[in-house]
Amino acid sequence: MTWLDQLQHQSRQFRHRALDRHVRLGVTGLSGAGKTAFITSLVHQLTQGDSPQNLPFFAVVQQGRYLGGQLAAEQALTIPRFPYEHNLSFLQQATPQWPPSTTGWSQLSLALRYKAGQGLRSHLQSHSELELDIVDYPGEWLLDLPLLQLDYQQWCEFSWQLFAKPHRQALAAAFSSVLAATDLTDTSEQQLQSLTEAYKNLLLQFSATAGTFLNQPGRLLVPGELAGAPMLQLLPLLPEQLSQNSALGKKLANHYQSYRDYVVKPFYKQHFSQLDRQVVLVDCLSALNAGAAATAELSQALQLIMKSFHYGPSSMLRRLFKPKISKVLFAASKADHVTPEQHQALTLLLQSLLRQPLKQTTYQLAKVEAMAIAALRASHAGYVELQGQKQPCITGIDSANGKKINLFPGDVPATVPDAAVFSKHQFSFPSLQPLPLAMQANLPHIRMDHTLQFLLGDKLI
Ligand SMILES: Nc1nc2c(ncn2[C@@H]2O[C@H](COP(=O)(O)OP(=O)(O)O)[C@@H](O)[C@H]2O)c(=O)[nH]1
Ligand SMILES: [Mg+2]
């Protein structure tokens, strides 16, 4: 794109924004929650799946007013593009695979054409256009927000409390010994680097362990463009080391401060001040599979993320970043891993993990909703006869061995189960491969039409 094209692109965006014809949708979720699958499906539904049979609850389609969606031909050169076509090709193989995982953030723009249903535009224009920017960013980065409210000492205390939890304790023991043997007067580059490396390894081990969601700082795990920056030399000293007012403690506190000022704040400024709508994907079922401590940590992480969307009059977010997100959807992803009559319980479980009444309050300007979805449905729901009774079941392809399975994955608890339930019962919701697609067929989904209606319906009237 030449500078002239870029200028034209920017001025068109500005015009569209001014006319409310531009929506910027953020898609976030912790690693593995289903962001890549969600965006791939969303784009596919809007560009190729727009039939009333496929999207019955998306009003603009149901009313026959949707004229189609197209990927924008141009995108600002400085923004990584979401690899939609590449992802789709994995799903369209003879033996379909899940698209590869990504790190960092990316964006994709779509132009959605529709006939206005009411008002002056419906009489004067042959069609209207809504420009949709979809932004994919790691939920790990959202979990850095709480750092703005903690100083270095408080962060160290918070971290070591977390590392004492049963599913983390054993992994953290070696790093704790390394710190205990560290010379706190030594602030050499070599020492900082080797300690950071040890902490990063610990975070990597945590993140490879099912059910650890709160790994901070997010950029040490997903550095994006900051790989190698000195302020990423960041680690929590043991709380008892902090009272010693050491040179190393001071140096790390400085890095912590820089990280907050130069990474966390700009991230929120750049993303939050521009997003209009937000989807937070949550994989509740994997957390249940991973046990009590994991489920408790997911709940803690979600509540912290939820705080990112509380930006009432007195909130720090509002003062610092002037966000304007007006709708937030919390979506329990991968609902195709359970039988349909469990979806309501899955939605209730998500609400119970959020520990939030999801209605608009005076301090929460965004409209918030929760639902159970599958961006890419990988199972068929049906029934089996068991001792003369009809039992719900799902059929799919087991990720572990590529074989067809037919099972009842179990009941989903509608509230967060207590430790006693976990000690008696091992949840084991399956993991499935994508179903083979006939070429050109719509990507199968669960409630992507409800999702589209909640996120975009009011912009397409
Ligand atoms: N059955 C099913 N599995 C899904 C779905 N979405 C994601 N997954 C699974 O979750 C994994 C991680 O998804 P991905 O979209 O890469 O997550 P991300 O890290 O948040 O981008 C995928 O490889 C799939 O195994 C879905 O809608 N249905
Ligand atoms: Mg991804």
Residue nearest atom 14 of ligand 1, based on CA coordinates: 34
pLDDT band at 5 (very low <50, low <70, confident <90, very high): low
pLDDT of residue 326: 86
pLDDT of residue 76: 75
Burial 197-213, CB ≥16 within 10 A → b, else e:
eebbebbeebbeeebbb
The average confidence (pLDDT) of the chain is 89
Tell me if 333 CB under 6 Å of ligand 1: yes
| CA angle centred on 56, ends 55 and 58, rounded to 5° | 70
List Cα–Cα distances, 264 to 136, 143, 337, in angstroms: 17, 10, 35
CA 376, 382, 386, 391 torsion: positive or negative?
A: positive
Beta carbons of 355 and 303 less than 8 angstroms apart: yes
pLDDT digits (tens, 9 = 90+) for 317-350: 777 777 778 888 999 999 999 999 999 999 999 9
Q: Which of 87, 101, 137 to mutate for ligand 1's pocket (most ligand atoms within 8 Å of CB)? A: 101
- Measured from the alpha carbon of residue 82, the closest ligand is 2
Q: Which of 165-174, 312-321, 407-416 has the lowest mean pLDDT?
A: 312-321
For residue 246, the Cα-to-chain-centroid distance in whole angstroms is 38
**pLDDT at position 416 over 60:** yes
Tell me if 310 CB under 6 Å of ligand 1: no
Beta carbons of 314 and 263 less than 8 angstroms apart: no
- What 304-310 contacts at long range (C-beta under 8 Å, 24+ apart), as own/partner pairs, is 304/142, 304/143, 304/145, 304/146, 304/214, 305/28, 305/139, 305/142, 305/143, 305/280, 306/354, 306/356, 307/145, 307/146, 308/142, 308/145, 308/272, 309/278, 309/364, 309/366, 309/368, 310/363, 310/364
pLDDT of residue 259: 93
* Span from the CA of 99 to the centroid of ligand 2 (angstroms): 8
Tell me if 432 CB under 6 Å of ligand 1: yes
pLDDT of residue 361: 47
Residue nearest atom 13 of ligand 1, based on CA coordinates: 34
* Stronger pLDDT, 368 or 40, i.e. the higher one: 40
**pLDDT at position 373 over 80:** yes
Whole-angstrom distance, CA of residue 296 vs CA of residue 302: 10
Whole-angstrom distance, CA of residue 460 vs CA of residue 387: 50
From the CA of 432, give the closest atom in ligand 1: 1
- pTM reported for the whole predicted model: 0.90
Q: Name the pairing type of β-strands 379-386 and 367-372.
A: unpaired
Q: Coil, strand or helix: which one is 385?
A: strand
Tell me if 332 CB under 6 Å of ligand 1: no
Axis-axis angle for helices 169-180, 152-163 (nearest 10): 130
**pLDDT at position 214 over 70:** yes
Whole-angstrom distance, CA of residue 364 vs CA of residue 112: 29
* Span from the CA of 102 to the centroid of ligand 2 (angstroms): 4
* Stronger pLDDT, 19 or 347, i.e. the higher one: 347
Residue nearest atom 3 of ligand 1, based on CA coordinates: 334
List Cα–Cα distances, 336 to 15, 283, 339, 433, in angstroms: 41, 12, 7, 11
For residue 303, the Cα-to-chain-centroid distance in whole angstroms is 14
Q: What is the mean pLDDT of residues 71-90?
A: 88
Sheet strands side by side (includes 106-114)? 66-71, 106-114, 128-138, 22-29, 277-282, 327-332, 367-372
Tell me if 336 CB under 6 Å of ligand 1: yes
Whose CA is closest to 42, among 30, 18, 26, 31? 26
* Span from the CA of 271 to the centroid of ligand 1 (angstroms): 23
Paired with 392 in beta bridges are 383
* Residue for token pair 């521009």: 274
Q: Which of 15-24, 50-59, 94-103, 208-217 has the lowest mean pLDDT?
A: 15-24
Whole-angstrom distance, CA of residue 311 vs CA of residue 317: 6
Ordered structural domains, the chain, with CATH: 23-142+271-377+439-459 (3.40.50.300), 151-268 (no CATH)
Beta carbons of 280 and 29 less than 8 angstroms apart: yes
* Span from the CA of 27 to the centroid of ligand 1 (angstroms): 13
pLDDT band at 403 (very low <50, low <70, confident <90, very high): very high
Tell me if 387 CB under 6 Å of ligand 1: no
Beta carbons of 210 and 286 less than 8 angstroms apart: yes
Q: Which of 82-91, 180-189, 269-278, 338-347 has the lowest mean pLDDT?
A: 269-278
pLDDT band at 448 (very low <50, low <70, confident <90, very high): very high
Q: Which of 333, 373, 447 to mutate for ligand 1's pocket (most ligand atoms within 8 Å of CB)? A: 333
* Residue for token pair 């400024």: 269
pLDDT of residue 6: 62
Tell me if 394 CB under 6 Å of ligand 1: no
pLDDT of residue 79: 81
Whole-angstrom distance, CA of residue 160 vs CA of residue 304: 17
From the CA of 30, give the closest atom in ligand 1: 20
Q: Coil, strand or helix: which one is 420?
A: helix
User: Which residue type is seen at 244?
Assistant: Q
Whole-angstrom distance, CA of residue 85 vs CA of residue 218: 28
Residues 6+ apart with CB under 8 A from 341: 392
List Cα–Cα distances, 24 to 85, 360, 454, in angstroms: 21, 21, 14
pLDDT digits (tens, 9 = 90+) for 117-149: 876 666 667 789 999 999 998 887 888 888 988
Spell out the alpha helix ranges (H) of 59-99.
59-62, 84-91
Whole-angstrom distance, CA of residue 124 vs CA of residue 105: 39
pLDDT of residue 31: 84
**pLDDT at position 170 over 80:** yes
| CA angle centred on 395, ends 389 and 400, rounded to 5° | 130
pLDDT band at 101 (very low <50, low <70, confident <90, very high): confident
**pLDDT at position 369 over 50:** yes
pLDDT of residue 362: 45
pLDDT of residue 291: 94
pLDDT band at 227 (very low <50, low <70, confident <90, very high): confident
Q: Which of 160-169, 264-273, 297-306, 419-428 has the lowest mean pLDDT?
A: 264-273
Could you tell me what percent of the chain has a pLDDT over 70? 90
User: Which residue type is seen at 169?
Assistant: Q
